[in-house]
Amino acid sequence: MLILLLAIHILVAISLVGVVLLQKSEGGALGMGGGGMSGFMTGRSTANLLTRATAILAAAFMTTSVLLVVMHNRERAPRSILEQTVPAAPAAPSVPALPTAPQPPAEPPQPSAPLAR
């Protein structure tokens, strides 16, 4: 289910980018659908359709984003503190061992060969 929702989320994101790029900007940089008024869709109807499509795709993108987070967190986190396992009772404290006398320092090892002077 999570993989299906992720695939839908990716398709909605790609579609949203495409619809935004199709819209005519102030300068008409990437706007498609320019030209005369004799086309199938006039400038105003194209703008209304693209604006509506952008709003619908944005809502779908936000919805799938929230659903992905909720579904991912539902699988990982415990549902309630009461449903968690109860830890075992702590063991009885043990008496620490008495300190012993410090060990004398060990003598440094002698070199195996005499040092040259």
Return the amino acid letter for 66.
Answer: V
Rounded Cα distance between 56 and 12, Å, is: 10
- Backbone φ, ψ for residue 74 (5° rounding): -65, -35
Q: What is the pLDDT of residues 8-57, one digit of tens each?
A: 999 999 999 999 998 876 555 455 555 544 445 566 677 788 889 999 99
Coil, helix or strand at residue 1: coil
Higher pLDDT, 113 or 70: 70
Kindly provide the residue ranges of all beta strands, DSSP E only, lying in the chain, ordered along the sequence: none
Coil, helix or strand at residue 4: helix
- Backbone φ, ψ for residue 51 (5° rounding): -65, -45
Q: Return the percentage of the chain with pLDDT > 70, whole number.
A: 68
